Chain A
Amino acid sequence: AQRVTQPEKLLSVFKGAPVELKCNYSYSGSPELFWYVQYSRQRLQLLLRHISRESIKGFTADLNKGETSFHLKKPFAQEEDSAMYYCALATGTASKLTFGTGTRLQVTL
């Protein structure tokens, strides 16, 4: 069965510092991986997906199949990045997502 692990419940960084939110997965098939974000009092929304290889709001994530990881990175944290971040894995059928437990990013001045 598929599994997504986000080892940090809370990550606190200073504004301007680099950010790395860790995500590891286990899945025997070809993974489809995503990062979803939930800002305070807003809906859960897609931040980025590995298949698009895009950078959104300065965030990037690279799929490393050897290490089964999909870590989310940003070189310089901003206050508006403070939110709950979820890594998610799609099995490729029926839009079923397996979510990690989430990491709360707190960016302080």
Chain B
Amino acid sequence: NAGVTQTPKFQVLKTGQSMTLQCAQDMNHEYMSWYRQDPGMGLRLIHYSVGAGITDQGEVPNGYNVSRSTTEDFPLRLLSAAPSQTSVYFCASSFGQGAWEQYFGPGTRLTVT
């Protein structure tokens, strides 16, 4: 059981480039989320999904797209990278909504120059 996996671990992009951060889980969790972690700001929700084919925006969705074609995968796409998107990105999954424990991936550290 790998849990929640994320690739890549590190990435450097130039302003304007696009890329996809990958997230996968093997726990058959319905709920998946993307957060970004910035110094002094904690974790902020970018997008989330309550099941395959269903996604919704979180607190800071601008500049990011998501899709959920399978239960296992929840990729995060940066359409045109900006320096403000330099951050550590965490994917998380959970069995149910609300009070269920969220399982986090190891994170992707992204730098946009």
Binding site for B on A (CB under 8 A): 4, 6, 9, 32, 43-46, 49, 51, 86, 90-102
Contact = CB atoms under 8 A, between A and B. Distances in A.
A51 B101 contact: no
Majority SS at the chain A contact face = loop
Contacts of A92: 97-99
Interface string B55-68: 01011000000000
Interface in B77-113: 90, 92, 94, 96-102, 104-107
Contacts of B101: 46, 49
B12 interface: no
Interface residues of B, number: 28
Given A6-B42, A45-B104, A95-B98, 4 more contacts: A49-B101, A92-B98, A92-B99, A95-B100
A11 to B, nearest CB: 15
Nearest to A6: B42
Contacts of A94: 31, 48, 50, 56, 97-98
A9 B94 contact: no
A9 B39 CA distance: 10
